[in-house]
Amino acid sequence: MWAYQKRLQYPINIKKKDLRMAKYLVTQYGGGNGELAAALRYLNQRYTMPDNRGKALLTDIGTEELAHIEMISTMIYQLTKDATVEELMEAGLGTNYAEHGPALFPTDSNGVPFTVTYFAATGDPLADLMEDMAAEQKARAVYENLIDMTNDPDVIGPLLWLRQREIVHYNRFKELFEAYQQQYQSKIEPREN
């Protein structure tokens, strides 16, 4: 089970409304390389990890991704707070307002809603961990794209911080991948035809 902590993992305090940035940033909430996909990917894959190392790592990183969803959501909320309908329409968020009013909704930057087809689960720990490594790299790249598009230090600070988390997670997954590769792949007998 999980227990909520009524705080962010890293503080966010955005003072300037920026609707265009919110429209771009939403992809780290509901896009293919976003935090929601990351959390569900790891928390879903963990059941079929071959030992408790993998079950622990995917549980603990998956849990941290839930905290990142909250950080990204907070950023979107603060960037769009008190926006008028006219301002939302002008920034290209009119379609979002038509569907969801002022509510947050997990989509990518193009407004395409979140779908579980963004992640995979094969039951093969090497295949799944390789996907997890790629996911962290793609999320890192998207954070860099987003940092390139703003000059607000209140936005850049948390994005830089989240980018580092992708790097740490990538390396943890890589260590586990390499350990499993040594441990399990050498023991797999070639299949007879």
Partner 1 sequence: MNNFNEQGNGFLDMMPANMMTLPNNMFQNNTLNPNQMNSNMQTGIQGNTQLSTPQEGFMRGNLFGDLYQQYKNYRPAVLTPRNEKDRLFLNYAQLAFAAHELNLYLDNFPNDRSINRLFNDYRTMSNQALRAYEEKFGPITITSEQLNQFPWMWEQLNFPWDEGGM
**Which of 1, 2, 7, 84 is the binder for partner 1 (CB under 8 A)?**
7
In the range 118-177, which residues lie near partner 1 by CB under 8 A?
144, 147, 153-154, 156-158, 160-165, 167-169, 171-172, 175-176
**Which of 121, 179, 181, 184 is the binder for partner 1 (CB under 8 A)?**
179
Q: Judged by CB under 8 A, which stretch of 5-13, 39-47, 93-101, 184-192 contacts partner 1? A: 5-13
For residue 88, the tally of other CB atoms under 10 A from its CB is 21
How far does CA 123 lie from the centroid of its chain? 21
Q: Is 15 in the site for partner 1 (CB under 8 A)?
A: yes
Q: Which helix (H) or strand (E) element contains residue 41?
A: helix 35-45
Structure tokens at 8: 């962010």
Could you tell me the smallest distance in angstroms from the CB atom of residue 175 to partner 1?
5
CA distance 44 to 33: 16
In the range 59-78, which residues lie near partner 1 by CB under 8 A?
60-61, 64, 70, 73-74, 77-78
**Which of 9, 109, 137, 181 is the binder for partner 1 (CB under 8 A)?**
9
Q: Is 8 in the site for partner 1 (CB under 8 A)?
A: yes
CA distance 48 to 121: 9
DSSP secondary structure, 137-154, as one string: HHHHHHHHHHHHT---HH
At 134, the amino acid letter reads A
3-class secondary structure, 72: helix
Q: Which is nearer to partner 1, 6 or 187 (CB)?
A: 6
Could you tell me the smallest distance in angstroms from the CB atom of residue 191 to partner 1?
30
35 phi-psi bin (left φ>0, alpha ψ -120 to 50, beta other): alpha
Residues forming contacts to partner 1 in the complex (CB under 8 A) are: 3-13, 15, 53, 56-57, 60-61, 64, 70, 73-74, 77-78, 144, 147, 153-154, 156-158, 160-165, 167-169, 171-172, 175-176, 179
